[in-house]
Amino acid sequence: MALDLHSSASFLSRVHLGNFYRSADADLPPISVAFRKPRPGRRFPGKVSVGHQQKPVAAAGMADAGTAERLHRQGADWGSSGSACSGRVPVFVMLPLDTVGAGGGLTRARALGASMMALRSAGVEGVMVDVWWGVVERAGPARYDWEAYAELVRMAEAHGLKLQMVMSFHQCGGNVGDSCNIPLPPWVTEEMSRDPDIVFTDRSGRRNPEYISLGCDMLPVLRGRTPIQVYSDYMQSFRDRFKDYLGSVIVEIQVGMGPCGELRYPSYPESKDTWKFPGIGEFQCYDKYMMASLKAAAVAAGNEEWGRGGPHDSGQYKQFPEETGFFSRNGSWETDYGKFFLEWYSGELLGHGDRILAAAEGIFRGTGAKLSAKIAGIHWHYGTRSHAPELTAGYYNTRNHEGYLPIARMLAKRGVVMNFTCMEMRDEHQPPHANCSPEMLVRQVKSAAKAAGIEIAGENALERYDEAAFSQVLGTSREDEEIGLSAFTYLRMNKKLFEEENWRHFVAFVKGMAEGGRQVSRSRADSGSSGLYAGAVIGDKFVAAQ
């Protein structure tokens, strides 16, 4: 069967890449994949580098590594040539969370190489990967191991893919979609044991080890360095190691600023059944450093008693707004105390984000790589007056208070792209009791980005492979010509993505985004001209089909 990516929603027939996703890939069977057919006169490489032994070579359809480099440099500023001008929305794909494992090695390298070839053939712009603090600096303070990520960068370059690399200063494990466990560096967890107050703490004293409390951002609690200094040193070392790829292969640096890499408090942790959807979550301000800040703010406001703690009637993780005194329809969130507390709580989060992004801006200025920051799509109870889950996460967004414009303005000050989640969700598909409205939330956030003059990029919040989810993203990306998406990152690459039906939907989606968010549909049968041809990866060699 002949397929043409330029004129139809092509897909890989009988894709078997799922066989790659095993704990080991030493004895893999032949894997069926598909690639764009090389143009006449161009050499298709017989081998693709998956380690240190070979120099980077061009991906399918490219003449050589030099050609790949020229193409990267021409398209490095993908946002400015994307939706803002041509209507094109480049699509990236998140790699598995354990692409670089806790031990510092690149996992399933051959699987990754074959998957990259398939993604490139589908028209994907690039891939996103978490650059785990707990992996890179695991050996001790300022002892960095970038080698697995260097191997990944070379591999992406060889396949003609660009990279979004996330400075992941958080723990992996304990949240939605976490499929592995990667803790913070051992020397950091030792400091947590010595001083438990350097992590976020709720009203009942429960500690959360996912991320260092922002209350000690500027205090030397990490063996003589402040957390901001530690994050800055890490990013500077990254820049030094990958300076030759920044702006060409590595086109975006997403700066992690909280749990799951998002700018928020860890107010709804799933570990140990602490929180369950659609619970309101809890405020995370009870470590001694946050409490010291709250007390100082209360004294400055002339009401010292307001600094004794957070709201006493804000409920528990799994409760609903109307079950609490603080978040109910006419609750104390609208009192003078409530407004004071929410301003302080959200202000501390904004200050944290600005401190990290100021450091990142100075480090990556002039490299050609964009900076981005991820904002959580907290859509449950959006239909209530108080928007309780957003408030506990640090977004002071209520029926009467705009919460996303201050965030957007903070990002604008640092020239940072806002990356927002839940782009695939529709209101009609949400459970009625949860008062969800992801569509209204996305519209509000896009309006805030427009008002602040920043780019907005998108992600799907949950793993989705169905046509309805892709259709929603396509519609959202071009809902307003003035605030279209600059890019979209799809969550996530795994064996399900390469199942035939899912892959067919995905390739159609990528094509639609390339055409400015236009809805693309395609029947299973395709009799058009050939832009792809089938073959197999046997070991590390490609063999064309007869």
Q: Give the pLDDT confidence of 139-163 residue by residue, as tens digits.
A: 999 999 999 999 999 999 999 999 9
Q: How far apart are CA 55 and CA 48, in angstroms?
A: 9
Q: What is the pLDDT of residues 149-202, one digit of tens each?
A: 999 999 999 999 999 999 999 999 866 666 689 999 999 999 999 999 999 999
User: Which two structure tokens, joined as six digits, stand for 104?
Assistant: 């510092």
* pLDDT at position 67 over 80: no
How are the residues of the chain apportioned to helix, strand and coil, as percentages rounded to the nearest 5?
Answer: 35, 15, 50
Strands (E), 37-184: 91-94, 126-132, 162-168
Mean local confidence (pLDDT), 282-294: 98
Q: What is the pLDDT of residue 27?
A: 33
pLDDT at 3 > cutoff 50: no
pLDDT band at residue 537 under the 50/70/90 scheme? very low
The Cβ of residue 279 has, within 10 Å, a number of other Cβ atoms equal to 22
- To the question of whether residue 461 is assigned a binding role by annotation, the answer is yes
181 is known to lie in a ligand binding site: no
178 annotated as belonging to a binding site for a ligand: yes
- Report residue 254: phi and psi, to 5°: -95, 125
Angle between helix axes 467-477 and 500-514 (nearest 10 degrees) is 10
Residues 6+ apart with CB under 8 A from 174: 210, 269, 270, 271
Residue 130: HSE in the Cβ half-sphere, 13 Å Cα cutoff: 29
Q: Please give the average per-residue pLDDT across 438-457, as a whole number.
A: 97
Active site residues: 262, 459
Residue 526: pLDDT band with limits 50, 70, 90: very low
The answer, yes or no, to whether residue 437 has pLDDT greater than 70, is yes
What's the confidence (pLDDT) of residue 180? 86
From first CA to last CA, the distance across the chain in angstroms is 13
pLDDT 10s digits, 361-403: 999 999 999 999 999 999 999 999 999 999 999 999 999 999 9
- Three-state SS string over 257-314 comes to CCHHHECCCCCCCCHHHCCCCCCCCCCCCCCHHHHHHHHHHHHHCCCHHHHHCCCCCC
> Residue 308: what residue type?
R
Mean pLDDT, all residues of the chain: 84
Q: Is 492 annotated as a binding residue?
A: yes
Q: Which of 477, 421, 366 is nearest to 82 (CA)?
A: 477
- Cα-Cα-Cα-Cα torsion 271, 177, 287, 398, nearest 10 degrees, comes to -120
Average pLDDT over residues 485-496: 96
Q: 104-142: per-residue pLDDT in tens?
A: 999 999 999 999 999 999 999 999 999 999 999 999 999
Ligand-binding site membership of 130 (annotated): yes
Report the alpha-carbon angle 349-355-358, nearest 5: 135
- Beta pairing partners, 538: 541
pTM of the model: 0.83
pLDDT value at residue 519: 58
- Mean pLDDT computed over 286-290: 98
* Structure-block tokens of residue 150: 């260097």
Query: Which residues on neighbouring strands pair with residue 254, listed in sequence order?
Result: 166, 372
Model pLDDT, residue 424: 97
Statement: residue 36 has pLDDT above 80: no
